[in-house]
Homo-oligomer: A and B are copies of this chain.
Amino acid sequence: MLPKALTNLVDALSQLPGVGPRTAERYAYYLFKTQKKAASDIVEALSGLKEGITVCPVTYELISSDRKLSPIYDDKNRDKTTVAIVEDMFDVVALEQTKAYSGTYHVLGGLISPIDNMTPEMLHIPELVKRVIADKVKEIIIATNATIEGESTAHYIQKQLEGKKIKITRLAQGLPIGLDIEYADQITLSRALEGRRAV
User: Are A96 and B1 in contact, with the CB atoms below 8 A?
Assistant: yes
User: Are A15 and B38 in contact, with the CB atoms below 8 A?
Assistant: yes
A1-34 CB mask vs B (1 if < 8 Å, else 0) is 1111110110111011111000101110111101
Interface residues of A in 56-101 (CB under 8 A from B): 62-65, 71-72, 88-90, 92-93, 96
Q: A178 — which chain B residues lie within 8 A by C-beta?
A: none
User: Are A46 and B52 in contact, with the CB atoms below 8 A?
Assistant: no
User: Are A49 and B9 in contact, with the CB atoms below 8 A?
Assistant: yes
A35 interface neighbour in B9, B40, B49, Cβ under 8 Å: B49
Q: A162 — which chain B residues lie within 8 A by C-beta?
A: none
A8 interface neighbour in B26, B32, B39, B44, Cβ under 8 Å: B44
- Complex CA gap A63/B51 in Å reads 36
Q: A44 — which chain B residues lie within 8 A by C-beta?
A: 8, 12
User: Are B45 and A9 in contact, with the CB atoms below 8 A?
Assistant: yes
Residue of B nearest to A34 (CB): B15
User: Are B27 and A16 in contact, with the CB atoms below 8 A?
Assistant: yes
A47: interface (CB < 8 Å): yes
Least Cβ distance of A28 to chain B in Å? 8
Q: A71 — which chain B residues lie within 8 A by C-beta?
A: 1
Further contacts, 13 of them, CB under 8 A, given A8-B45, A11-B41: A3-B63, A4-B64, A5-B53, A5-B65, A12-B42, A12-B45, A16-B31, A29-B89, A29-B90, A32-B53, A35-B50, A40-B46, A42-B42
